[in-house]
Amino acid sequence: MQLKQNKHKKPRVVLLSKPRDFLKIPISPEEAFAIKQVERIVGYQFRTKGILLVALTHRSYINILKKHKGVIYSNERIEFLGDAVLETVISEFLFKNYPQYPEGVLTLIRAATVRTETLADVIKELEINNFILLGPGEVRTGGREKPYILANMFEAIVGALFLDSGIRKAQKFILSNLIPRIKNIIRTQSYKDPKTHLQEITQEYFKLTPIYEIINEEGAAHAKRYTAVVKLQDKIIGSGIGPSKQRAQENAAQNALQKINKIIKQQNVKN
């Protein structure tokens, strides 16, 4: 990105809370291009372009901002706002459309809907990940594919829409992208604990119980990453990575469920 180097000795933190505050932020041609592309994808023209610019700015981009703009900001605060809006919109939708489910089941469905992997998939499908403003190091390490960065981007865009236009635009973006996933979550019952759900399905269809195995462990003590596989007999049917053995096993189970549900669906179509 070709930006003029900032001549300020000390970068300043830009305080952003009201839409007019975002007018203070200079926008480079490259950033303007990213804004335009995301507006096209989302289907909404922002009145205050700086709001969307901040939403697209990952914290790894801060060094570039310091060097070329002399200001510091990232999407973390907008993401915080978007997270609250997202939960409210999904909660209202589930409450109004699924009266047959008790509170406990609605909570599980909502958790499955807003989980990191679900939101990250939306951002990848929309190809918004191509326009996230990342630092060079984050780009080199595959930041545009990291689920937690993409999920945070979904929430940041929700927050930006809410801040620029109010709840209706944010609601439209959320529901247009997540209603099909909610229906699939309910149809496949993937809101259940994935290990329990996988065992129910494998016993019903294959008369077998899944077995889990941790095949890799890496990272420092405070930042461990575990890789798990789940097997039926000796065949690996799913794999997953997580910050704990339990989470890695759950992700492996979820991966296996996606594969098995796809096979079951194809068999049902043939029949």
The overall average pLDDT reported for the chain is: 89
- Evaluate whether 132 touches 149 at the Cβ level (below 8 Å): yes
Which CATH number characterizes residue 262's domain? 3.30.160.20
As a whole number, mean pLDDT of residues 23-27 equals: 83
Gap between the Cα atoms of 240 and 226, Å rounded: 8
Domain residues for 125? 12-81+114-188
Backbone angles phi and psi of 224, in degrees to 5: -70, 150
Backbone angles phi and psi of 115, in degrees to 5: -65, 155
Is 50 exceeded by the pLDDT of residue 3?
no
Gap between the Cα atoms of 162 and 48, Å rounded: 12
The whole-model pTM stands at: 0.75
Provide the pLDDT confidence category of residue 103 given band limits of 50, 70 and 90.
very high
The pLDDT value recorded for residue 13 is 65
The pLDDT value recorded for residue 19 is 73
Summarised one tens digit per residue, pLDDT across range 226-266 is: 999 999 999 999 999 988 999 899 999 989 998 888 877 77
Gap between the Cα atoms of 82 and 88, Å rounded: 10
Summarised one tens digit per residue, pLDDT across range 74-94 is: 899 999 999 999 999 999 999
Count of structural domains, the chain: 2
Is 90 a domain residue?
A: no
Please indicate, yes or no, whether residues 127 and 254 belong to a single structural domain of this protein.
Answer: no
Q: Pick the more confident residue, 9 or 132.
A: 132
Please indicate, yes or no, whether residues 230 and 158 belong to a single structural domain of this protein.
Answer: no
Please indicate, yes or no, whether residues 131 and 64 belong to a single structural domain of this protein.
Answer: yes
Q: Pick the more confident residue, 80 or 69.
A: 80
Q: Pick the more confident residue, 117 or 110.
A: 110
The pLDDT value recorded for residue 269 is 60
Please indicate, yes or no, whether residues 231 and 156 belong to a single structural domain of this protein.
Answer: no
Is 70 exceeded by the pLDDT of residue 1?
no
Is 159 a domain residue?
A: yes
Catalytic amino acids?
83, 155
Is 50 exceeded by the pLDDT of residue 61?
yes
The pLDDT value recorded for residue 270 is 62
Provide the pLDDT confidence category of residue 6 given band limits of 50, 70 and 90.
very low
Summarised one tens digit per residue, pLDDT across range 124-162 is: 999 999 999 999 999 999 999 998 899 999 999 999 999
* Residues 202/207/213/215 CA torsion (nearest 10 deg): -70
Please indicate, yes or no, whether residues 170 and 199 belong to a single structural domain of this protein.
Answer: no
Provide the pLDDT confidence category of residue 5 given band limits of 50, 70 and 90.
very low
Backbone angles phi and psi of 264, in degrees to 5: -60, -40
Strands (E), 183-232: 211-218, 225-232
Provide the pLDDT confidence category of residue 178 given band limits of 50, 70 and 90.
very high
The pLDDT value recorded for residue 4 is 45
Q: Report the Cα 104 to chain-centroid distance in Å.
A: 23
